[in-house]
Amino acid sequence: MRKKVLVLGSNFGGLTAALAVKHELHGDVDVTVVSTSDRFLFNPSLIWLPFGKRRPEDISFPVAPTFEGHGIEFIHAGATAIDPDRRTVTVAAGGPAGTTHRYDYLVIATGYRNRLDVVPGLADNAVTITTLPDAIKAGEAWQRFLHDPGPVVVAATQGAGCFGAAYEFLFNISHQLRKAGIKKRVKLTYVSAEPFLGHFGIGGLPHGESLLKMFLRKENIDAHLGGPIDHVASDAVVLGDGTEIPFSYAMIVPPFAGQEVVARTGTLSDDKGYVPVRDTYQSRKYDDVYAVGVAAAVDVPWQTPTPVGIPKTGFPTEVMAHTAAANIVAQIRGAEPAHTKAFGDIKAVCVMDAGNNGVIILADKMLPPRKHGVLIPGPQAHLMKLGFEKYFLWKARHGYVTLP
């Protein structure tokens, strides 16, 4: 009997896992993808959208033709319930009660939802860029700001893990202020739960703190680090120690949580809605359930005075998805799932854009202890990110997930 692989999510993790399983088994498997979104979104480019440098259609494409071209069924609907004991997922399609889909193997690649309630006033008084609708809203607020400029705050709250996006947006704003001819009139402030500049949620890299201090000094940016945000007022970010930082425009990166359908499956997820996994990316409880990307729970190997998360998007998600796919293929072929890649051992590969400059970040491991780590600043980083965006969208659209 042909095995049935069900994938929840159609972005980096879901698209990669579904296509990798299908290709490796030469089509001799039934793969179905269920997703609330019918478009793949290149999230790293959301930093540019608020400034009009990208449109939604520039950084996304419809996934149905991609899946259908590779013999994968696509269902544009949300999963409403997961029953790992019965090996079923209920999907909000086909009537009021939904449709139940059976699986032999399940891949949870459902991504994240914003936890805007962590900081009172964040949702009402600030913007964020972590989803496409949020980035569009941030762009509308940016246009209003340009007509009446004032102080700007870019922040990452306690528990946030997407620090790279915060830094990129910070330096892109500085670049855009200069282009608009108002840089000298606008006070720009960075607020972060990180214990030091360049921690990034991965413990930092050699010379990263000194490099970012140089960047902030060059761009005349103030920084408040290592503490929580108490609340966001209509005109100021208020820190845990009572410090008030006025703003006319504030972009704040919140913490993430797992999707509610996963969180409701109590036997499967932790209290944040993430799935605890082994190094094979199998659920710790269910051998036939996998979780990749943000949906997978990752242990933090340190404690900081103010909690910080770990970035799991982009390259780490792809590695997890390929590892999970290889193990599903092994199980279908009757072998043990022997492919492992501990999250901390995944290479750190990131290009941080800064408008017309940037930093290439490379390390042999995502988390310490490491043997090698380097940050390479320069305009080549900006050009590299531009080129990679085009390459990755082409690769994903055509289903070439085995390419680097």
**Which residue numbers are catalytic?**
162, 350
In DSSP notation, 326-351 reads HHHHHHHTT--------GGGS-EEEE
Q: 5: alpha, beta or left, given left = phi > 0 and alpha = psi -120 to 50?
A: beta
Distance, in Å, from the CA atom of 86 to the CA atom of 338, rounded to the nearest integer, reads 25
Q: Say which residue the tokens 């608009």 belong to.
A: 180
Name the 3-class secondary structure at 24: helix
User: Is-contact 168 47, C-beta < 8 A?
Assistant: yes
Comparing C-alpha atoms, which of 171, 353, 360 is closest to residue 251? Answer: 171
Specify whether the CB–CB gap between 269 and 286 falls below 8 A: no
Nearest to 348 by CA among 368, 369, 364: 364
Distance of CA 316 to the CA centre of its chain: 10
175/17 Cα distance (integer angstroms) = 37
- Tokens 């982009």, located at residue: 314
CA distance 9 to 107: 9
Give the end-to-end CA distance of the chain in Å, rounded to a whole number.
33
171 touches 215 (CB < 8 A): yes
Strand partners, 60: 41
